[in-house]
Structure formats: structure tokens, C-alpha cells
Amino acid sequence: MTDSPASNFSPNYYTARDRFCSRAAELGWQTDSYSVMEDLSIDVAISASLPSRPTILVSSGLHGGEGFFGAAVQLALMDSGSLATDLNWVFIHALNPYGFAHLRRCNEDNIDLNRNFLLPGEEYRGSSPIYGKISTVLNPERLGSIDWFVPQMLGAIAKYKLANIWQAVAEGQYDFPQGLFFGGQAASKTQQILQEHLPQWMGESQNILHLDFHTGLGKWGTYQLLMDTVVTPAELQNLQAYFGAEYILAVDGGKKKYQVRGNIGQWTRQLLQPRNYNYFCAEFGTYSFAKVLMMLRQENYVHNWLAATDPVYLRTKEQMKEIFCPESEQWRSRVIAQSVEIVAQADRAVRDRPN
């Protein structure tokens, strides 16, 4: 057992990966490593393959810089001693190892992986006309001593309305390869690895609940469960009973602010058909939306246009970590406790439905 919830947080990707793999091995779980590039890998730990039992899938780091938190959740769970032995547990560490190691949301090709999972037949093309209009504001090639972002955004909001801008930006775009929320122009390496191996990691299990851990959206130290996938009313009602209706943001529930193209949940649901699969993006709040967006913009700017030794580059990376994984002990303890509780709810939810 570790001393405090905060001790589950690792200072970098490599330490997080080592701790993940050794803890899984100590528990006797099967571990496998899938290279994405050089010394960066997606690591998978599987507790068991009980064919007639449900599976809880816990993934981290789809958005690289958010992996500090997701990996800490996985470690806390493995350390908790409370994971039921009559369920299958599949933990995927660092779906975007490059972004985790380099403090980026995106992967090595500037792909926002949660926009890259287009369904078969969907094209890696297109963007909202509003995105095109504000692209140079979002993705500047030069930032002088005065940053005009706020007045420029206020101008854009007056013209297009905030909700439309948010939809245009967050839904994903496929036309600006150096821009924010770029979904890519082909299936990413991460998608290829999942396509090839995920069904086999799930074994014969027919009843799967997937929790993908994220940070950066929402109020400080609170969470929302974003469904992103279209489910039947009966499925939604059932999930609400276990996870609390007030925490779930369903696509059709009228509460969700924007629709995302190419999110992982919808794609995985299709890949694993006809199994019973539900997905939540468990999203934990840190700083304000404006601060987070400005940080993403700043990080994208320094990544594209400054040398890695530039003091502004280095300072930006440090700030990036704070924005997506605050140092605050209070935040860290709270989000870990909440995550462990969500997983306990998942345990009850899968247990009560037909295998």
C-alpha cells in the first residue's frame, strides 16, 4: 500500500510506466508492451481471462498530458487491494505515450487521438467553417510580447457566438495539421494497435465497461462521465442508476454541450460488437476552460515554433503539467478517491447485467 493518494502520481511517463508494469507483475497480471515509437509504448495489464465474467477496462493518457492523472488512478486501483477477483480487469497505460512523455495533448503527428477514431466509412476530412475563420487566432505562428488572443476571441465570440465557436473547435478538425483538435488524416498508430489487439485483450468476455480517464474539463476537483456514444434509453437508464444521473452527460440527454467526431468510445463499441460494451470518458476538472484553452494554444505554439531549449518552451511545458495535473494535494487526493469510487460503481454495474 502506498502512503497517500498523492503518492500514486509519477513525475514523468517513464516512471509511471515502470511503476505500472512492476505493480501489475507483482499482482500476477499478464503484461504486454506495444511499441509506438522508439522507447515509447502502450502497456497493457490483464488480471484474468474468465470467459463468462464481465470485464472492466481502464485506460489512461489518450490525451498525453492527462496521463499523469490516469496512470495514478491505475496505480491506486492496483494498490487498493479491492479489485474483485471474479471480474476481468484490463488496464491500458498511456494510449498516447508520446504526448505523455512530451507533455502534449496530441501524439507524435499532432493528432488529437480522441478525434482520430472515425468509424469505417467516415472520411478524415473537413472542419467547421468557423474553425477556418479563427484558425490563425487559435494556432498562431508568432507570439510577440503582447498576446492579442483575448481581444481577438472576444471579437470572434461577438461575431459567431460562444457556443458555435466551442462546437467548431471541440468537435475536431481534419484540415489544419498543425492546429488544435486535429483528428489526423489516417488511423493513428494507437488506433491500429487497438484494432489489432483489443478484441483479444477482452477474451471471451461479453460484458464490458470501459472507463477512459481524462482531465482538464469541468470544475476543479469534480468529475463528469461523458458518454460520447449513442446508447439506447434502457442502457442510459441502467447506467444512471449505478453512476448517478447527475454525473452522466449523455449525447442525447440534452445536457452535453458539443458533439465530438472520432471519439474512441463509439469506435470501440463498434469494434467489439455484438458484445455488451459501455464507455465513459471520466473527465476531471482542473482550471477554467479559458485557461485550459489558452494553455493548449500556447503549448501548440511552442511545440511548432520554438526550440526545445527555449526558456519559454520549458516554462510552457511546466505550466502544461500543472494545468492538466495540478500539484495540489487536495486536488490529487480528491480525484483519486472519486476515481476509485467510480470503479466501484462500475463493478456493481457490470455484475448486475447479463453476461
Applying CB under 5 A, the residues found at the interface with Zn ion are: 63, 66, 214
> Using CA atoms, how far apart are residues 230 and 245, in angstroms rounded to an integer?
16
C-alpha cell at 31: 503484461
| Closer by beta carbon to Zn ion, 83 or else 264 | 264
> Using CA atoms, how far apart are residues 178 and 176, in angstroms rounded to an integer?
6
Shortest Å, Cβ 223 to Zn ion: 12
| Closer by beta carbon to Zn ion, 63 or else 93 | 63
Shortest Å, Cβ 99 to Zn ion: 10
Shortest Å, Cβ 284 to Zn ion: 10
| Closer by beta carbon to Zn ion, 198 or else 260 | 260
Shortest Å, Cβ 39 to Zn ion: 24
| Closer by beta carbon to Zn ion, 48 or else 225 | 225
| Closer by beta carbon to Zn ion, 87 or else 323 | 323
| Closer by beta carbon to Zn ion, 317 or else 353 | 317
Q: Of 91, 159, 96, nearest to 130 (Cα)?
A: 159
Shortest Å, Cβ 340 to Zn ion: 20
Shortest Å, Cβ 353 to Zn ion: 27
